[in-house]
Chain A
Amino acid sequence: MTAFGIRLPAMSSLLIWGLLWEIVGQLDLTFFVPPLSQVFATLFEIIGTPVFVKALTETAYAFVMGVFFAIVIGIPVGILMGKSRIVDELLLPWVNIFVSAPLTALVPVLMVLFGFGLTSIIITTTLFAIWIIILNARAGVRQINRSLVEMARSFGATPLDAFTKIYFWAALPEILGGVRIGVIRAVKGVIIGQLLISIVGFGALFELYASNFLMGHFWAVLIILFALAFSISEFLGYLERKVAYYAAKR
């Protein structure tokens, strides 16, 4: 973006929105929007507190585990679907249903099945993230150059070799794209899971702040979450660009 012929750093438009927020807050129009400066003051205030650290570690744990399962299950399943007609026909309808299903509605069922704890939240997170990862890995494998596979076979590759040395790498640009979208969905999943279960992590924190009308606290936590989700997504975008050099030339 440029203004008056000067190149502005990325995302400087955020400053304008921040300023607008501050003004609305200072005008004291609604308790719902405290001034941004106050939100940031609260943010630094709570960021080291044990309650916050506990919520963050619980959330991070559920998030990391959920994403981990989504990746280690999703990528091989997607690759298998891309390779094998039978597996594909068996699983594709389900994947297509779940990738667009309103998964939030499933969370209460999960709570009944797996209890009101971390397990349910981890499973929710995985469920939010896994489908798009599967679909992308599948798409990545389906566009693979057949002669690469034949080349590997002609030099005596075992099926496992083909999997780890050809399919995975050939599909990597698509896989990373899927993981990036999956991770963004996982952020949703972990927060929605916690909100519905609301006795662990940020769910508990939100419950606490909302019922006590601590809007500054509420926004502060939200900003932290947004910033975290954004950084993760940017990091994965960076990885994706690192493999882009061969994405166009397979």
Chain B
Amino acid sequence: MSQTESSFAGAQRLGPDSAVSVRGVSKTYGAVEALRNMSLEFPRGQLTSLLGPSGCGKTTLLKIIAGLIPADEGEVEVNGTKIAGPGNDRAFVFQDFALLPWANVLRNVAFGLELRGVAKSEREAVAERYIRNVGLAGFEKSFPHELSGGMRQRVGLARALSVNADVLLLDEPFSAVDEQTRRKFQEDLLALVANENKTFIFVTHSIEEAVYVSDQIAILLARPSRVSEIIRPSSFREKGVENIRRDPEYLDIVDQIWASLRSYVE
């Protein structure tokens, strides 16, 4: 635990450059209090995971940040401005992909730009580039029902990348793919965080996944949800993707998170 606190303090010293700040956000659905007075900072250019038991309000928080649902109380700031709804500075990757079944891959990837009024030739050029980036070259004319789950997820990712938003919101993006694809995606995600200068907010159920991909892990506790701990892995990030899973700090953090979540499962 001491290690956690010292690394958290270290983060504070780096300066308060947050791409997204969540301040005192509460949300109640009827009788269910999903979030109570939640505050959290998301450092710019880094990947923050939200980890917590099912139903603790991770999706709710992500949608509030996306501007898709209003918070009852509190506010969300993106790049220093308070949000009032969805905006060009954020892009969402949906757990269930949310692809248009009647449109091919090219149109799906370009759809975010289409809604923003970008001309057809221009948006298709951008879309083609990101389709190649996520490894789907050759499938531009395929329809979603002709793709595997992992390929569909990449289409959703390419769509979010092609609008070039500062903040990417990913809601359990890898939960529908098999283990091999998942590992591949996790490596790809690390490369994305390193290469694209974007802020990632990543919801996951998997402790190992969170520790593997994150610069910062926020552990949420069940309803009404609050942040119980923030963990910032420090040493294994630079050691290369092959070595992370063997790193002692990686293993320690996984154990530590499990120890603190365990009491809520029992």
Chain A interface residues (CB < 8 Å from chain B)? 145, 147-148, 150-157, 161, 165-166, 169, 172, 243, 245-246, 249-250
Contacts and interface: CB of A to CB of B under 8 A. Distances in A.
A147 B94 contact: yes
Interface string B56-100: 000000010011100000000000000000111011101110101
Contacts of A250: 101
B68 A153 contact: yes
Nearest to A173: B102
Contacts of B95: 147
Given A147-B98, A152-B115, A155-B86, 15 more contacts: A147-B94, A150-B63, A150-B92, A154-B67, A154-B86, A154-B90, A154-B91, A155-B91, A155-B115, A156-B115, A161-B115, A165-B115, A166-B100, A243-B102, A245-B143
Contacts of B88: 156
A248 to B, nearest CB: 8
B183 interface: no
Given A150-B94, A246-B145, A156 B86 contact: yes
Interface residues of B, number: 26
Closest 4 CB pairs of A and B: A246-B101, A151-B98, A155-B112, A154-B92
Interface in B96-129: 96, 98, 100-102, 111-112, 114-116
A103 B88 CA distance: 51
B163 interface: yes
Max chain A C-beta neighbours (<10 A), residue from B66, B91, B92, B116: B92
B199 to A, nearest CB: 16
Contact of A145 (B68, B96, B115): B96
Contacts of B86: 153-156
B144 interface: yes
Contacts of A153: 68, 86
Contacts of B67: 154
B68 A150 contact: yes
Interface string B133-159: 000000000011100000000000000
B115 A157 contact: yes
Contacts of A165: 114-115
A172 B103 CA distance: 13
